[in-house]
Amino acid sequence: MAMQSRLRIRHAEGQVLVLTTVALVVLVGMSALTIDLGMAYSVKAKLTSAVDAAVLAAGKAVKVGADDATRRLNATNAANNFFAANFPTGIRGTTSTSFGVDSITNVEGTWTIKASARTRAPTFFSGMINVPIMVGASAESTVKTLDMMLVLDCSGSLGSDFPDLQDAAVNFVGGFQEGTGGDRIGLVTFASGAVLSEPVNKDSNRGFNRSRVVGALNATSMGGATNAEEALRIAKTELDLIPSDLRSTLRVIVFFSDGAPNVVSADFVDSGTVRRGGLYSVTDGRSKPYQLFTINRSTSTQVEYTNILTIPATDYTGTVSLASFNAARTLSGSPVTNTWCNLNKSARNMVENIANAARSETGTAAITLFSIGLGERVKSNEVTNCSYDSSEYGENILKRIANTKDSDRYQSSQPSGIYVWAADGSQLNSAFQRVRSAVLRLNK
């Protein structure tokens, strides 16, 4: 019996040794596999980062070029270069790396770039049993190009808030991409008249010169009335002058004012002589408007013409009607007589007409408008002798310009922007940044 017990014990010891050996092999294999998987995870993270960088670079490059074929080539080259820079050959022991731009599509001006990559991660255990670990990554970038005009009221009513407006506008343009392939940004400043202070770049290189725009902002002076229609018309015209095949997907006008429009730019007849200028519509007790401002200067001394009896049907370009496009305000007389209320209603009609025309352009040519109002004046009736109700507050006009969804004349078929109000100059920077964020969201 003793001999049999010893044999059984030795036999059991042999089984334990075999099981232990197998367990060690399994544990070593699992440890090696864990190391392999950890390395593969690290490689995938690096690969994903490199592909992301590639499609982002391609998104910027696709904005540059005179035609779509050139833009696609620029995007492909940028993607390849950025991937190579961020995932060089052999990095982290990888082999058999491949990268490619899968597609570059342009649907109504919105570019979508897709790219993917694969690589073989270094292995310990998996390599011993000839099981490679391949990791892959893919990414997609969707970009819209931006053409934008900034339109700023620099009238005398701004007073001590004017430096805050300049600072806020400088910070605003600083949030967009300048240089070749970047965003197009132009500037119009206005008061009694309007000035194209910085035109947009109209060639295939796109972009804007930030220092020039900032210089124009800092050089702007304050003073005069509110010729909003002239300024908005110039801004729309400037965007429309960009060749149609070079226009951006997103066309934007950002409009700032601290009051309702009160100047009409047209050709007025004074005792048989045609006088071109901006006729001022705020009464001072005389029987009819008589102060005519220069239209191509934001601030200028007015000239008095007391024999202007009627108001023309359109502005001096013949493109903007003085009558409301939606019959919101009725003008009296045929031809329309030169009265304070007729002229003031015309000023309001014209700016709303321009905004409607900008938003009504077909397809991607439509312009999205954003507006910013300042101070308590925009929440009141600045003109008290025309029987205006609360619908004629400057704030309501600014909402109509932007076609906000809470506007009393919201048009669902047209692009809708936002309106932001700043109580005083200290809130202007925040207001402009809110609009910038809204524009950038549309630009994704």
14 band by pLDDT with thresholds 50, 70 and 90: low
What's the pLDDT tens digit per position in 129-161? 555 788 999 999 888 779 999 999 999 999 999
| Strands 291-293 and 273-280, sheet pairing | antiparallel
Q: What does residue 307 show for φ and ψ, rounded to 5 degrees?
A: -115, 30
What percent of the chain lies above the pLDDT cut of 90? 69
* Amino acid identity for residue 308 in this structure: I
* Least confident interval from 7-11, 397-401, 420-424: 7-11
122 band by pLDDT with thresholds 50, 70 and 90: confident
pLDDT at 58 over 80: yes
H or E element that contains 119: strand 110-121
pLDDT at 394 over 50: yes
pLDDT at 383 over 80: yes
Fold (CATH) for 146-442 = Rossmann fold (3.40.50)
What's the pLDDT tens digit per position in 402-420? 999 999 999 999 999 999 9
212 band by pLDDT with thresholds 50, 70 and 90: very high
What percent of the chain lies above the pLDDT cut of 70? 89
More confident residue, 422 or 286: 422
H or E element that contains 85: helix 68-86
Distance CA 403, CA 355 (A): 9
CA distance to 49, 56, 80, 102, 111, per residue, from 52 (Å): 5, 6, 12, 14, 16
Burial class (CB in 10 A: 0-12, 13-18, 19+), 126: buried
Position 261 scores a pLDDT of 97
Structure tokens at 251: 């066309």
| Strands 146-153 and 110-121, sheet pairing | unpaired
What's the pLDDT tens digit per position in 224-279? 999 999 999 999 999 999 998 888 889 999 999 999 999 999 999 999 999 999 99
Q: Is 210 left (phi over 0), alpha (psi -120 to 50) or beta?
A: alpha
CB 248 within 8 A of CB 146: yes
2 band by pLDDT with thresholds 50, 70 and 90: low
pLDDT at 39 over 90: no
Among the listed residues 325, 310, 390, the one whose alpha carbon sits nearest the alpha carbon of residue 355: 325
Query: Average pLDDT in the 310-329 region?
Result: 97
| Strands 367-374 and 419-422, sheet pairing | parallel
Domain positions in the chain: 2-142, 146-442
Position 26 scores a pLDDT of 47
Q: Any idea which residue has 């009160």 for tokens?
A: 262
Position 28 scores a pLDDT of 46
Distance CA 440, CA 444 (A): 7
